[in-house]
Structure 1
Amino acid sequence: MHKKYKIIVVIVVLSLLPVGCMVGPKYARPEEQKSDSYKNERNLDTLASVTNLKWFDLFNDDVLKDLIKKGLENNYDLKIAVSRIDQLRAELGYAKSDLFPSFQYGATINSNEKNFTPSNAGASMSWELDFWGKYRHERNAVQNELLATEEGRKVVLSEIVTNIAFAYFQMRNLDDQLEITKQTLAAREKYYGIINERFTKGYISEVDKVQIEQQVAIAEAAIPNIQRQITFQENALAVLTGQLPSDIPRGKTNTELRIVSEIPLSIPSSLLENRPDVKAAELRYKASNERIGVAQAMRFPSINLAAIAGFASADLSNLFLGSSYSQNASAGIAGPIFAFGKNKRRVEIYREQAEQFKYNYQKTYIVAISEVEQSIQDIKTYKEEWKARNRQVQAALINHKLSYERYNSGYVSYLEVLDVESKLFEAQLSLAQLSERQLSSMVQLYKALGGGWNL
């Protein structure tokens, strides 16, 4: 067999050897603390009821939906996440290229024949065979990091949707509080006029007058405080939607708003594998596990192939003649002998890093279960609390009316009226806040279950 063909056969055989020679640990999924369902037992629903429900089916307010759409289009955190995905895709292509030969070309022109460096033109090939799987492990690691980053984009997406919803609910709650406070102020100012007139005519003492005057001032002071908070929420919504600060449009009140979906309140804990942060944590552990293989492969010899072909001549005019042509192929092997434990310690470093990613995955899974459990409990208790607080408000309204009638008839002092009115005011504000928290808790559960956050 011609020498040239022998070299080709050797190269082909060596290139096929790495297929079954990968070193490094095989991936094993970490153990998870499983449970059939959460401790707050309710009717079991299917996985599809959560994962197939999209965020735009969750809300019945077109203004809120429009704000969320703007957030998904303009939010800078989401743009950063998408850019990271594109970066990882480029890094994956970079890692894959190490599995193949690299080709180079070069040329040198010398007009002086006495120069020790002759004129030359040629091409070369170099290839480190991935005999032990070093580059394949790195490729797999980057691929898992890419998938983790894509899951990270979903995490950012869910944060945008939920944060916009939370900020909107809080803004509408403050709108309700501002309206309640204005109505309270108007009622107090009206009654202040009546009491002041009675004081002027000498029917009542100055104590009643200063008491209602104090209550008017309290209501007046509450209004600018609420207005500052509204501006803060409007600015927060502007940032979340990637806009300059501006007036935010209003849709339905929190009382009118409803989370229109029926989110299941008892789900097997295995459902949380659908959560993007849980998926991302496992994928990062997979990537770190692959890098143990990279470190182990670096302890073994590397096998390199090289080939060169081209023309070289001291006489530039004879550069491309047949007599100036030459070619060569070679193979080499190199590996570590003794490095005072450096290579072994490298493997240990990557192994411990993988352990850290494993523990982070297990922690993320437990936190996910805790968040769902808390959200379920929040929904249940906020609903019960809202019903009780609503009964309190209705009773306080009746008591407020009766106390004024009793005061006007001279049966009680104005101090009793003030006490009743203050409790009514506080109950109304609490009811408005509970409406917001009910809505937020439903969105929080939806987020905690990891469903429906796809574009």
Structure 2
Amino acid sequence: MTKIKLYRCLGVVCMALVFTACKTPEIAEKKVNKAVPASFNSQDSTKTNSADLNWKDYFTDPYLTALIDTALVNNQELNITMQEIRIAKNEVSARKGEYLPFVNIGGAAGVEKAARYTFQGSNEAETEIKPGKETPEPLPDFMVGAFATWEVDIWHKLRNARKAAVARYLGTINGKNFMVTNLIAEIANSYYELLALDNQLAIVKRNIEIQSNALEIVKLQKQSARVTELAVRRFQAQVLNTRSLQYNIQQRIIETENEINFLVGRYPKHIERDHEIFVDMVPTMVQAGVPSQLLENRPDVKQAEFELAAAKIDISVAKANFYPSLGISAGLGLQAFNPVYLVNPKSILANLAGDMVGPLINKRAIRATYQNANAKQIQAVYNYQKTLLNAYIEVANQLSNISNLQNSYDLKAQEVDALTQSITISNDLFKSARADYMEVLLTQRDALESKFDLIETKMQQMHATVNIYRALGGGWN
């Protein structure tokens, strides 16, 4: 009868735990919107996408591909991220281990002397191990055995925690892919900037030679009283200014080389390159595909998607804290006051117990954790939509940039041709006293600036081809 009452009491307690646990706070989860426009910049699109190209097929300069190959092995930031992936993978293993039984094996030894006038001491004094042989005092204790504990995952809290860890692990992989994409783009942009600086340096050196020759002519004209000392000084100042510009460009070349060396993961050294091919480079024709392909091609979008999935699962994990947990513990071993008796079957020790514990009063901490999980899920939704929107805008901007840069380059090229011809014309007019020296100086300055602008525009064109490839999600596959 007593057992029946005990079982009834346990049943009532369990029902109370389940009933009170079911009263979880009402929280509305935010749904994610994955809809994107049908095309970029209202242009007709096909599913052909340059992001599907391997970076070795997209970048054909052998010096550039060699740099990228080295960076993918030696870049420190990338290697740090690889360790983060390992940490996330180990976290998955840790979460998996939590819903499996924990089994430990061990042993213990000790000695105890109970007070004579206590319940335990009086029992030991009256107990004989064998007829005529009293219990030892003090009483040694030796034990060896295996012990197991297991939290039964009845609400899938532990399994969901593992699923969340898996989602975050996949997110770190895509984070690494996004870093690879950015690393390749950064090296390519720096490489093209280096080629542009080389060409600007070559232009400056040619202009120094032209201006030096003009200075000598002006000096001769001063001797024949055709010009004054002022003209000589102005031509001399222009030569000095251009020489100063040469050293400025040389410093920028060194800094750009070292930027590339840092990305490649090595100490400063000369970057092998062929700058003469830069002017004749033709920007790669890019196929943008359709915007929906960004969901699969952009690693940062996929990373945000996995982070969102993990955040949703975290809500289920936090919700399970409102429900009672069921634990089972067991032990099997040998225990005796003398090691000799450990081999005796009577020394076998065994136990098996189960417990169910759940929150009943003061669930503020659990409720706060649950609400935080929901807030983080909403935060992850906004982060996903922001990442997707940013990806779309990046592609749209670069497509527009490519078109405008092409038009700008064509006009700049015409400007350079016109000013280059004007240098010869101004020099001839100056020699025949039909133009003053200021016209010659201004023409030379304008021609130099236009050539610099043309090289700068070419560099921006190459940067645009790199940036659109990165924006589409190319480089990591």
TM-score (norm: length of structure 1): 0.90
Query: Partner letter of residue 239 of structure 1?
Result: F
Corresponding residue for residue 72 of structure 1: 72
Identity of aligned residues (%): 26
The alignment status of 1:404 with 2:427, answered yes or no, reads: yes
The alignment status of 1:213 with 2:240, answered yes or no, reads: no
Q: Is the 8 A contact 1:25 1:292 kept in 2?
A: no
Q: Is the 8 A contact 2:27 2:374 kept in 1?
A: no
C-alpha distance in 2, partners of 1:452/1:222? Answer: 36
Query: Partner letter of residue 125 of structure 1?
Result: A
CA offsets per residue over residues 223-280 of structure 1, 9 Å max, x none? 11111111110110110000001111113442233454x3214x32211102000010
Query: Partner letter of residue 269 of structure 1?
Result: P
Report runs of 4+ in structure 1 exceeding 4 Å deviation.
22-29, 110-113
C-alpha distance in 2, partners of 1:186/1:357? Answer: 61
Counterpart pick for 1:254 among 265, 278, 281: 278
Counterpart pick for 1:355 among 355, 362, 378: 378
Question: Residues 390 and 339 (structure 1 numbering): CA distance in 2 closer, same or farther, change over 3 Å?
Answer: same
Corresponding residue for residue 101 of structure 2: 101
Say how many residue pairs are matched: 430
C-alpha distance in 2, partners of 1:27/1:283? Answer: 17
Q: How far does residue 132 in structure 1 lie from its aligned partner after superposition?
A: 1.1
C-alpha distance in 1, partners of 2:86/2:260? Answer: 27
Query: Partner letter of residue 387 of structure 1?
Result: D
Q: Which moved more, 1:371-380 or 1:22-31?
A: 22-31
C-alpha distance in 1, partners of 2:302/2:173? Answer: 10
Q: Is the 8 A contact 2:111 2:141 kept in 1?
A: no
Query: Partner letter of residue 278 of structure 2?
Result: N
Question: Residues 162 and 275 (structure 1 numbering): CA distance in 2 closer, same or farther, change over 3 Å?
Answer: same
Query: Partner letter of residue 119 of structure 1?
Result: F
Corresponding residue for residue 43 of structure 2: 41
Q: Is the 8 A contact 1:173 1:433 kept in 2?
A: yes
Q: Is the 8 A contact 1:125 1:308 kept in 2?
A: yes
Q: How far does residue 54 in structure 1 lie from its aligned partner after superposition?
A: 0.6
Q: How far does residue 51 in structure 1 lie from its aligned partner after superposition?
A: 4.0
C-alpha distance in 1, partners of 2:363/2:335? Answer: 45
Counterpart pick for 2:351 among 322, 328, 338: 328
Q: How far does residue 163 in structure 1 lie from its aligned partner after superposition?
A: 0.5
TM-score (norm: length of structure 2): 0.86
CA offsets per residue over residues 385-428 of structure 1, 9 Å max, x none? 00100011011111111111111111111111111111111100
The alignment status of 1:60 with 2:83, answered yes or no, reads: no
Q: Is the 8 A contact 1:64 1:251 kept in 2?
A: no
Query: Partner letter of residue 35 of structure 1?
Result: P
C-alpha distance in 2, partners of 1:106/1:59? Answer: 61
Question: Residues 90 and 27 (structure 1 numbering): CA distance in 2 closer, same or farther, change over 3 Å?
Answer: farther
SS in 1 for 2:343: coil
Counterpart pick for 1:233 among 256, 278, 286: 256
Larger radius of gyration: 2
Query: Partner letter of residue 334 of structure 1?
Result: V
The alignment status of 1:269 with 2:291, answered yes or no, reads: yes
C-alpha distance in 1, partners of 2:147/2:363? Answer: 36
Corresponding residue for residue 13 of structure 1: none
Q: How far does residue 328 in structure 1 lie from its aligned partner after superposition?
A: 1.9
C-alpha distance in 2, partners of 1:363/1:417? Answer: 54
Question: Residues 25 and 310 (structure 1 numbering): CA distance in 2 closer, same or farther, change over 3 Å?
Answer: farther
Counterpart pick for 2:367 among 341, 344, 349: 344
C-alpha distance in 2, partners of 1:33/1:207? Answer: 69
CA offsets per residue over residues 328-348 of structure 1, 9 Å max, x none? 211111111112522112111
Counterpart pick for 1:164 among 157, 172, 187: 187
SS in 2 for 1:319: helix
Query: Partner letter of residue 256 of structure 1?
Result: D
Give 5+ residue unaligned stretches, structure 2.
1-21, 113-135
Question: Residues 210 and 413 (structure 1 numbering): CA distance in 2 closer, same or farther, change over 3 Å?
Answer: same
Query: Partner letter of residue 65 of structure 1?
Result: T
The alignment status of 1:142 with 2:165, answered yes or no, reads: yes
Q: How far does residue 439 in structure 1 lie from its aligned partner after superposition?
A: 0.6
